[in-house]
Amino acid sequence: MTYDIIVIGGGVTGAGVARDCALRGLSVLLLERHDYNYGASGRNHGLMHSGARYAVTDPDSARECIEENNILRSIASHCIESTDGLFVTLPDDDIEFQATFVDACHASGITAEVIDPSLACTLEPALCRDVRGAVRVPDASVNPFALTHANVLDARLHGADMLTEHEVTALLVAGGRVEGVRALDHRTGLEHEFHAPITINAAGIWGAQLVRLAGIDIQMFPAKGTMLVYSQRVNQMVLNRCRRPANADILVPDGTVSLMGTTSDRIGIDEVDDMRVTDAEVQLLMSEGEKMVPQLATTRLLRAFAGVRPLIADDSDPTGRSISRGIVCMDHATRDGMEGLITITGGKLITYRKMAEQATDLACSKLGIAVPCTTATTPLPGSESTGNEWDDFNPTHKSNATRRHGTCAQNIPADNATDRTIICECQHVSVGEVKYAIERLQCHDLVELLRRTRLGMGVCQGKNCICRAANLMAQMSGDPEKSLRDLERLLDERWRGIKPIAWGTALREAQLTATIYQGLCGLDQAASGRKEDQP
Ligand SMILES: Cc1cc2nc3c(=O)[nH]c(=O)nc-3n(C[C@H](O)[C@H](O)[C@H](O)COP(=O)(O)OP(=O)(O)OC[C@H]3O[C@@H](n4cnc5c(N)ncnc54)[C@H](O)[C@@H]3O)c2cc1C
């Protein structure tokens, strides 16, 4: 129960820190209160920024983005689709801004090529025809789930202990230093103490509450962002409006779907664990999206979801738009007189590796260890070179499992017909992939399965596949009651995302899903039976 480093939080940042520590030979424990990617890392746009979006307003963050963009292409190739991006000027936008934007990109080291609007429409046929200007930049699409899991996998392969469903409830403080943590295991209800000379707080927006346990104050700004998922991939390149960052100005292609986003509104910290998407947010995203890509007006919506950006507070900005997305690494010894505690926050999904490097460098200097960081040059599991450049850099042609797991897909059982059977047609998830997730990726229930395989995230939103997966997990665990409870939880979670956009075809499909699960499978009766059994 004693380690060199304890990391709190299993988002991409915490996973990256655990990996970096493990690669440097430190003994490390990561504690996540729910599941990997439960926070912002599983609720974002999946845009691998070139940095262009921030070039005018936040040049430090823009430089961090382009540096990490280049690194991730080589170490995380299986998580990335190299789509490139366009910043387009629509009739509503100021064309004068284009020159300012291109100059700022160049100043931050970002390639930005002005192209003729007609060429933009040829490259991206979904674009509206009255585009007035277009700039091509090296944006891309990134699979955030795969990125975090590749870091988790590598950390574990290098000896890290990684515990999900473990919530840190206390920081153990003695003599002005944090000496460890107390954590509640949600699966057993037991509390455990873990000790380490250094604890790294990578708890995202919850980081402020966490350090308060040691009497430290950090002012964070919970900036909620809402996104829409369309049922088809309408665009092939990342599309951005060429203007200062604003609401509803990015459309990202992601596998077989497209994601429109985002909004930015400050919410109360008490709302972070119970976020609701509002009608006004959905209307805004739809109407702005249609201006850039008219086809969205007739494309079916699949769901809406929201995440909270872990930003450091700046009360002069009510929306959080102008707060820097730069990395914030706090040494609480120099800041607050509390040794043994580091906070790493701010930043972006795609700057997670740099964030991890900064936090681990600081931890190493405190421990008196001089091992350099190697994460910028060591490929993540799944992205090792196969010697075939096409395979390494063009994941679009690969099987879906390869896109999710890279070269690790070769470990997915496929020797017999049962293992090869597809149980989620939308995302092409096989029985073997479910087994792989359970046996190798710390998957304990259906929601966790969804985060590891994307089962249930496709066009049918789980209508056809979730009961099959529940059955399979019941067979493997020998606990059908648990599978039934998991099934209810997953359907609730899916419905939460469908409800804000439930009209037309989406509503009809949701009704069909309800009929299958409640009518045919009797799930509501099973649930009410269980409630009657309770004292
Ligand atoms: C709407 C939106 C869109 C975005 N789009 C993009 C994008 O396109 N590209 C990009 O690069 N970035 C994007 N971002 C930013 C990016 O998602 C975040 O910067 C990044 O995911 C933060 O990761 P994290 O690990 O620091 O935090 P999180 O992912 O929030 O992880 C924190 C973890 O800590 C855990 N935790 C909290 N308290 C405790 C405790 N007491 N004990 C144990 N564990 C605890 C939580 O459960 C959580 O899993 C977006 C963010 C939002 C909200």
Q: Give the pLDDT confidence of 88-99 residue by residue, as tens digits.
A: 999 999 999 999
How far apart CA 199 and CA 8 sit, in angstroms, is 8
How far apart CA 96 and CA 85 sit, in angstroms, is 20
201 touches ligand 1 (CB under 6 Å): no
Task: Evaluate whether 285 touches 260 at the Cβ level (below 8 Å).
Answer: yes
For 197, the token pair is 């000379």
Q: Whose CA is nearest to atom 15 of ligand 1?
A: 348
Ligand 1 atom closest to Cα of 351? 11
Read off the DSSP letter of residue 340: T
- How far apart are the two ends of the chain, measured CA to CA in Å? 38
Residue type, 343: T
Q: Whose CA is nearest to atom 35 of ligand 1?
A: 9
9 touches ligand 1 (CB under 6 Å): yes
Q: How confident is the model at residue 464, as a pLDDT?
A: 87
Ligand 1 atom closest to Cα of 167? 42
Task: Evaluate whether 509 touches 460 at the Cβ level (below 8 Å).
Answer: yes
**Whole-model pTM over 0.75:** yes
Residue with tokens 């707080």: 201
506 touches ligand 1 (CB under 6 Å): no
Q: How far is CA 208 from the centre of its chain?
A: 20
Q: Which of 309, 341, 352, 355 gets mutated to test ligand 1 (max ligand atoms within 8 A of its CB)?
A: 309
12 touches ligand 1 (CB under 6 Å): yes
Q: How confident is the model at residue 312, as a pLDDT?
A: 86
11 touches ligand 1 (CB under 6 Å): yes
Task: Evaluate whether 206 touches 18 at the Cβ level (below 8 Å).
Answer: no
Kindly give the distance from the C-alpha atom of residue 395 to the centroid of ligand 1, in angstroms, as a whole number. 25
Extended strands (E) in 5-84: 5-8, 28-31, 47-48, 80-81
272 touches ligand 1 (CB under 6 Å): no
Q: How confident is the model at residue 81, as a pLDDT?
A: 94
For 285, the token pair is 């995203």
Q: How confident is the model at residue 71, as a pLDDT?
A: 98
Residue with tokens 């008490």: 270
For 331, the token pair is 């040494």
204 touches ligand 1 (CB under 6 Å): yes
CA dihedral 30, 32, 38, 43 (to 10 degrees): -40
The string over 302-336, giving b where at least 16 C-beta atoms fall within 10 Å of a residue's C-beta and e elsewhere, is bbbbbbbbbbbbeeeeeebeebbbbbbbbbbbeeb
In the chain, ranges of CATH 3.30.9.10 domains:
80-141+221-306
DSSP per-residue letters across 136-153: EE--EEE-HHHHHHHHHH
Kindly give the distance from the C-alpha atom of residue 38 to the centroid of ligand 1, in angstroms, as a whole number. 8
Strand, coil or helix: what is 252? strand
The string over 20-56, giving b where at least 16 C-beta atoms fall within 10 Å of a residue's C-beta and e elsewhere, is bbbbbebebbbbbbbbbbbbbbbbbbbbbbbbbbbbb
Strands 133-137 and 85-89, by their bridges, are antiparallel
Q: How confident is the model at residue 390, as a pLDDT?
A: 43
Q: Is 135 left (phi over 0), alpha (psi -120 to 50) or beta?
A: beta
Q: How confident is the model at residue 493, as a pLDDT?
A: 87
- For 80-141+221-306, CATH number out of 3.40.50.20, 3.30.9.10, 3.40.50.620, 3.40.50.2300 equals 3.30.9.10
How far apart CA 352 and CA 49 sit, in angstroms, is 12
38 touches ligand 1 (CB under 6 Å): yes
Low-confidence ranges of the chain (pLDDT < 70): 314-321, 386-398, 526-535
H helix intervals, 234-382: 279-292, 332-336, 352-367
The string over 170-202, giving b where at least 16 C-beta atoms fall within 10 Å of a residue's C-beta and e elsewhere, is ebbbeeebbbbbebbeeeeeeeeebebbbbbbb
Q: In what helix (H) or strand (E) does residue 473 lie, and over which residues does it extend? A: helix 466-477
41 touches ligand 1 (CB under 6 Å): yes
Kindly give the distance from the C-alpha atom of residue 37 to the centroid of ligand 1, in angstroms, as a whole number. 7
Q: How confident is the model at residue 532, as a pLDDT?
A: 58
Number of H helices, E strands in the chain: 18, 23
